[in-house]
Amino acid sequence: MMEEDKKMLSESEDYSKELDVAVRAMQMACFLYQKVQDTLVSKSRCNDQVEFKDENSLLTIAGWSVQAIVSWILSQCLGSENISILAKGDVQTLCKSNASELLEAVVKTVNECISEAPRFGVQEHKSALGTSEVLELLSHCNSVWAPSARFWVLGPIDDTLGFVNGDQYAVSLSLIEAGEVVLGVLGCPNYPMKKEWLSYNHSYQRIISMLTPTTSETWNKGCVIYAKKSSGKAWMQPVLHVNKKFVWPNHAKQVSISSIDNPALANFCETVDKANSSHSFTEGLALSVGLSKQPLRARGAMKYVAIAHGNAEVFMKFARASYKEKIWDHAAGVIIIEEAGGIVTDVRGDPLDFSKGLYLEGLDRGIVACAGATLHEKIIDAIDASWSSSCL
């Protein structure tokens, strides 16, 4: 074997253990969130309004619980001394006297989820975790950014409205070393089985999926999609192995980008939320490069999944000048697309910079993700030609 081949093989084998553990962590996180989402959807059918923003809500409890569970799995499998996690929320919030009920609910939820750990190939804890142990796990999620350090970045639910309405959302976990993303996992509990369903309300997707014949390829309980640096591959597998043919540790299938490079045939993803993205500019830009198909409205990280899975070829996002992109919204998606064969850059064509802290500081105007170089080049050229009319 040539020395260069040996080096590539060695690099591809790096982070295999970390990736395996991260996949299991995201599967457990998705499992918990699925249960909470089903509860919220059921409540919304009985009430005119669902309260989900107050600190004692199910969503808040689930968010803290997922942080503790991810911290627990990483610590159990990789050693707690090596675990530093950047995540949303300050653990001191749970230590206040008026948060005792919330903390009690989090501890209860964490223990309930950990009892299911063997389903995901993780050994169950011998005894229930106490309050102090859960707070200790959450303390790992309050790490301070340092450019040269090794950090896990845990992304919370990326579309709260989608979650509460029973629609699309994702959670993410990535590992960053010295400012470079070395592995990423996206948990997608409601990712649809067909790309056309990306534009449908999830309640409609559920009805259609019930009418669709079940096959060995049917993943009706969501999926996780993941990749690691220098592997040249991205993989997808179900959150739950509901089919008897699925045998742990995984029933993964490799995913890769679409081969379509003709704009007229390409599917274009855009965000659902208009608050931090200019739909009018992206639509005009799409027309200028010949992206004539109706855009797929993808919530949160679904646009990254759609491209890596070959369900779409293009995604563009141009935020308002005051908006800062958070690294946990992009880190996992970027490495997954790149290892699947795609390209993600800013509008100058430069790679996204994850070395500056919690935000993509210095991001040039926006983000462009494509299935191939031909489409990417056309879009970058079109942005340069029309940016002065963007009003961004």
What tens digit of pLDDT does each residue of 113-168 get? Answer: 999 888 888 887 788 999 999 999 998 887 667 666 889 999 888 777 767 777 77
Whether the per-residue pLDDT at 275 is higher than 50: the answer is: yes
Helix (H) or strand (E) segment spanning residue 378? helix 373-386
Helix (H) or strand (E) segment spanning residue 296? strand 296-298
Give the list of residues 6+ apart from residue 139 with CB closer than 8 angstroms, or none. 91
Cα angle: 16, vertex 155, 83; to 5 degrees: 50
Q: How far apart are CA 329 and CA 322, in angstroms?
A: 17
Instruction: Say if CB 364 and CB 355 are below 8 A apart.
Output: no
Q: What is the mean predicted confidence (pLDDT) over 51-78?
A: 80
3-class secondary-structure state, position 180? strand
Instruction: Say if CB 255 and CB 234 are below 8 A apart.
Output: yes
Whether the per-residue pLDDT at 266 is higher than 80: the answer is: yes
Q: State how far the alpha carbon of 51 is from the alpha carbons of 56, 63, 151, 317, in Å.
A: 10, 15, 34, 30
Q: What is the mean predicted confidence (pLDDT) over 31-54?
A: 64
Which of 3-17, 133-147, 247-261 is predicted least confidently? Answer: 3-17
pLDDT at 225: 94
For 88-113, the pLDDT digits (tens) are: 878 888 888 888 888 999 999 999 99
Instruction: Say if CB 186 and CB 305 are below 8 A apart.
Output: yes
For 353-382, the pLDDT digits (tens) are: 998 888 888 887 789 999 999 999 999 999
Q: What is the mean predicted confidence (pLDDT) over 201-227?
A: 61
Residue listed under structure tokens 């591959």? 233
pLDDT at 216: 44
For 169-189, the pLDDT digits (tens) are: 889 999 999 889 999 999 988
Q: Chain-wide mean pLDDT for the chain?
A: 81
For 298-357, the pLDDT digits (tens) are: 778 888 999 999 989 999 888 777 788 899 999 999 999 999 999 999 988 999 999 888
Alpha helices in 14-130 (DSSP H): 16-46, 58-78, 100-114
pLDDT at 15: 92
Whether the per-residue pLDDT at 55 is higher than 50: the answer is: no
Residue with the larger pLDDT of the pair 225 and 87 = 225
User: How many percent of the chain have pLDDT more than 90?
Assistant: 37
| Residue 157 known to bind ligand | yes
| Mode of pairing for the β-strands spanning 85-86 and 150-155 | parallel
| Residue 158 known to bind ligand | yes
pLDDT at 27: 92
